[in-house]
Amino acid sequence: MSATQGYKLSGTALPKDTIGMLDEIAEHFIEHSDVLRTGNNVLLKSDIGTADIRAEGDRLLIDLISPSEESLQLVRTMLAEHLFYFAGDDPFELSWSELPPPTSPSNLYEVTVVSAEDVTPHMRRVKFACADVSPFVRDDMHVRLLIPPKGRPPVWPGIHEDGRLAWPKGDDKIVVRIYTIRAVDVERGELWIDFLQHPAPGVATPGADFARDAEPGQTVALIGPGGSDKPKAARILLVGDESALPAIARIVAEAEPGTDLQAIIEVENEAEQQLLATRAKLDVRWLHRASYPPGATAMLADAAIEAIAPLDGDTFIWVAGEKKDVRAIKSVLKTRQHDRKLKSVAWYWERGVAAPG
């Protein structure tokens, strides 16, 4: 796509700190798209379009170009959600040359529970029927699962004028949790999600509870897929706990023959281990939390850091799991200046803190 082709949209943002926000954009999107930073200009390029963002005085001027009207709306919403997130509690305004269509986002899919079964004692697999599974057969593996209140017809989010999603409120409020599409069954038109059952006494766990109680015919929705973190390299190290196990299992299952895969996976005990089918060469080390000495912490992070030390710079390092473990590994990768394009490091949950939504 050249700069003059495609569907276009321009926008203006008024952040408190223009350059600070530009820095955050450049820093954040490096793991999701190609980022070119030149002075007060950031260019983001991905499959669904380009965003050219430049600081002028107290404003950020934004130009979006996408190959289709649909992807243009997705880029707008994605950027709007991130910019408001970066602004945090600071005052922030965002306006566009055209208003978004007054409909739900085009990447929202209503899906129906087909079945639910235990893969291991604490991992519950829910299979969903989806009218069009084709968008899920890509590199992007993650979705936002939208769980509407029981006993009411679901009301799905629309789109605000500023491009952000407009979530239903009050009695129609939806629970939102992020999950990985573990597998896509194209023939049956099904998507599988594996949910860790992590009962926390006295604490609500709506994502896990949905899977525990899921009944055939129940309707939920997915927004996505997104994340684009399926690594591609000749040699890959995968590190994670049960929350990352569905992603690791999918990466391993879809890896090219000849890929050299090493995985370090922390689960509660041997009963939580899964057979990881692959056409690649795979070496898995399972860590069992139940066998750690009393008071032990950061065992996964320590094992990962030890495994990373001898790796050459060409190895892709993929890490997901609890925030503290992930941060410890992230800082080691930063110190060793591991190539940004050869790493994906994301925390999937935080101990003692419920996911937002």
Ligand X SMILES: Cc1cc2nc3c(=O)[nH]c(=O)nc-3n(C[C@H](O)[C@H](O)[C@H](O)COP(=O)(O)OP(=O)(O)OC[C@H]3O[C@@H](n4cnc5c(N)ncnc54)[C@H](O)[C@@H]3O)c2cc1C
State the nearest-atom distance from the C-beta of 181 to ligand X, in Å: 8
CB-wise, 122 or 338, nearer to ligand X? 122
State the nearest-atom distance from the C-beta of 262 to ligand X, in Å: 21
CB-wise, 181 or 303, nearer to ligand X? 181
CB-wise, 177 or 338, nearer to ligand X? 177
- The dihedral over CA atoms of 71, 77, 81, 87, expressed in degrees to the nearest 10, equals 100
Collapse the DSSP code of 285 into the 3-class scheme (helix H, G, I; strand E, B; otherwise coil) and give the result.
Answer: strand
Which one of 86, 192, 316, 348 is in contact with ligand X (CB under 6 A)?
348
Structure-token pair, residue 277: 């089918």
State the nearest-atom distance from the C-beta of 347 to ligand X, in Å: 7
Residues 307-326 that bind ligand X (CB under 6 A): none
Neighbours of 297 (CB within 10 A): 11
Which one of 116, 196, 252, 319 is in contact with ligand X (CB under 6 A)?
196
State the nearest-atom distance from the C-beta of 320 to ligand X, in Å: 7
Residues 208-227 that bind ligand X (CB under 6 A): 208, 227
Residue 266 interacting with ligand X (CB under 6 A) = no
State the nearest-atom distance from the C-beta of 310 to ligand X, in Å: 28
State the nearest-atom distance from the C-beta of 352 to ligand X, in Å: 5
Contact 177, 206 (CB under 8 A): yes
CB-wise, 16 or 85, nearer to ligand X? 85
State the nearest-atom distance from the C-beta of 203 to ligand X, in Å: 5
Rounded to the nearest 10 degrees, the angle between the axes of helix 18-29 and helix 69-87 is 120
Cα–Cα distance for residue pair 115/306, rounded to 1 Å = 40
Residue 195 interacting with ligand X (CB under 6 A) = yes
Residue 274 interacting with ligand X (CB under 6 A) = no
Residue 57 interacting with ligand X (CB under 6 A) = no
- DSSP H or E stretch at residue 85: helix 69-87
3-state secondary structure 119-167: EECCEEEEEEEECCCHHHCCCCCEEEEEECCCCCCCCCCEECCCCCEEC
Q: How far is CA 310 from the centre of its chain?
A: 29
Collapse the DSSP code of 176 into the 3-class scheme (helix H, G, I; strand E, B; otherwise coil) and give the result.
Answer: strand
Contact 192, 127 (CB under 8 A): yes
Binding mask 91-130 for ligand X (x = CB under 6 A): ----------------------------------------
- Burial readout 267-281 (b: 16 or more C-beta within 10 A, e: otherwise): bbeeebebebebebe
The closest residue (CB) to ligand X is 207
Which one of 76, 246, 264, 300 is in contact with ligand X (CB under 6 A)?
246
Please identify which residue in the block is written with the tokens 């190290």.
237
Residues 153-182 that bind ligand X (CB under 6 A): 177-180
- Residues making contact with ligand X (CB under 6 A): 142, 177-180, 194-196, 198, 200, 203-208, 227, 242-243, 246, 348-355
